[in-house]
Amino acid sequence: MPILREDHQSLSESLSIHSGSQDLQTSNDDVDDLQASSLAPGEKAGLLGREVTLFSAVMLNIGQITGSGIYAVPGVILNSVGSIGLLLLYWIMAPIFAFAGLSLYAELASMFPHRSGAEVVYLEQAYPHPRFLVSTAFAVTVVLTSFSASNAIVFAQYFLSAFEIEITARNQTTVALAVVVLTVGSVAVSTKWSLRAVNFLTTFKIISLFFIVAAGAAVLTGITPVKDPYANFQNIFEGSSFNPNALATAFVKSNHAFIGWANAFNVLGEVKSKNPARTVRNAGRISLFLVSILFLFINVAYVAAVPREDIRNSGQLIAVLFFRRVFGSTGAKVFPLLVALSCFGNIIAVTIGQARIIREVARQGLLPYPAFFSSVKPFGTPLAPSGLKGFLTILVILAIPAKDAFNFVLDLASYPHLVFQAAMAVGIWVLRGRRRRAKLSEAPLKASNGVIFIYLTSVPPEPGHADVSFWYATYCVAGIGLLLCCGLYYWIWIIVLPKLGGYEVVEEIEESADGARNTRLRRRYKKLVAEEQAEEEQAEQQPLLGAT
């Protein structure tokens, strides 16, 4: 049973408290944590253990980056941009934005070096007013989009292809559900063994990527059955599309292929290092440098081996076409298993990070039953957040038509992320200003303003292009609608209902037996408060001793 450790405070009280001199706390190692707007209370360091080393952080990043993206996205991008030249250009541009984002995250991590959760922490700190607004919007969005449906779907497609089983909607859904249960369950039971699984599977994936690059080199040297490997490199910008929405779609898809470079920031509080922020930044640099080179040359290998029109029509099966053309029927059977294994490891790596994000959301008091979702019982792991992620992934897989599932869930998760990406970039200037006013030193890992502007760069979607069978802008409308619903929910929850009901929202801090601490939001009725105050005043007016 959680124990209340601090007296509750009202929303108006919290606003005044958090604007005062108590806003800032300075750590002994000269890394100053701004706690002005914390919704989540501090808790004992290392509650989830200290299992993450530099190697594990690199593997967590690469494990998420090397999921389905490099095997499934190139065909989708070419279908959007139309030319080989633009396809390759996007794979050169995407890492630039990723490195810019890494610098921004590193600065924020150096401000809050002992908290896991990354974005959920940074947005909470940057936007304290109106109280709960930004945190609520991010919490709802991140929870509802914290699914690994795209990788589960690609796993199912490649797994079925490897065993020459017909890829029907039923077969795809069944296999996808099975892999979700297995991978999410492993994270829920043991952090140590799930990290070991990520290390092993990611090492295997890196070897597989190098093998694809080597196979591409063999194609270009003419020692494979592929004829005229340079055909696609002639007039490489022929057929280029400059439709704004097509370019925006390609931009989102290429960025999606690199999502994961920040995964280790989600476990910052579990890093085994004297300087966790620097360790995680170095892990990000190593991950991005290696993966950027591999991804570019893998795309060159695809272009050398597979005709352009086949790439455009490949959907998410470009890697199968590549191995079929290079290695014949044997390659077409073996390689899909490698891709499926890659997606398997990706889901584990993603779940490790996202479970921490959901747990931080719960610690802010923004999930029902926050003590339940922030607890680390019985395995010392975020069991409930892992289960919630698994449930939402299963729900998405069952709800979206199988043939459109990959593209739709990819777009739905990507566009709201761009909004918070912009908020994060602006938020770093907000936090810098707050530190200056408090006469604190600059963050140890400061990003340049130019890098922040690069990270801010994004392309808004416009009408005119579709990669699903239903209305092309469904994902955009759904993403924007989700954000608007968050604002409506906040307005009703924090403003309308308290006004109509005569109460205010107060915050209480709970501490569970396992050491987990979280905020719980509850109602405090003004009438009862007024009655209590009147009773206290009346008691104070009574004489201390009876009259004689």
Which alpha helices (DSSP H) does 82-168 contain, by range? 84-111, 119-126, 133-144, 149-162
C-alpha neighbours within 13 Å on the C-beta side of residue 244:
6
When computed from its CA atoms, the radius of gyration of the chain, rounded to whole angstroms, is 25
Number of C-beta neighbours around residue 223 at 10 A: 9
Q: What digits encode the pLDDT tens for the residues 156-183?
A: 887 887 787 888 888 988 999 999 999 9
For residues 341 and 154, is the Cβ–Cβ distance under 8 A? no
Helix (H, G, I), strand (E, B) or coil at 9: strand
> What is the DSSP secondary-structure string of 22-75?
GGEEE-TTS-EEE-TT-SSPP--TTTT---B-HHHHHHHHHHHHTSSHHHHHHH
For residues 394 and 183, is the Cβ–Cβ distance under 8 A? no
Q: Which residues contact 334 (CB under 8 A, 6 or more apart)?
A: 162, 323, 327
Give the pairing of strands 24-26 and 503-511.
unpaired
> How far apart are the C-alpha atoms of 84 and 309, rounded to whole Å?
11
Position 19 scores a pLDDT of 32
DSSP 232: G
For residues 53 and 342, is the Cβ–Cβ distance under 8 A? no
Position 16 scores a pLDDT of 32
Position 133 scores a pLDDT of 83
> How far apart are the C-alpha atoms of 518 and 511, rounded to whole Å?
7
> How far apart are the C-alpha atoms of 284 and 99, rounded to whole Å?
8
Position 409 scores a pLDDT of 57
Helix (H, G, I), strand (E, B) or coil at 455: helix
Residues of the chain with pLDDT under 70: 1-40, 45-46, 68, 315-316, 331-332, 400-415, 458-476, 478, 529-531, 533, 537, 539-548
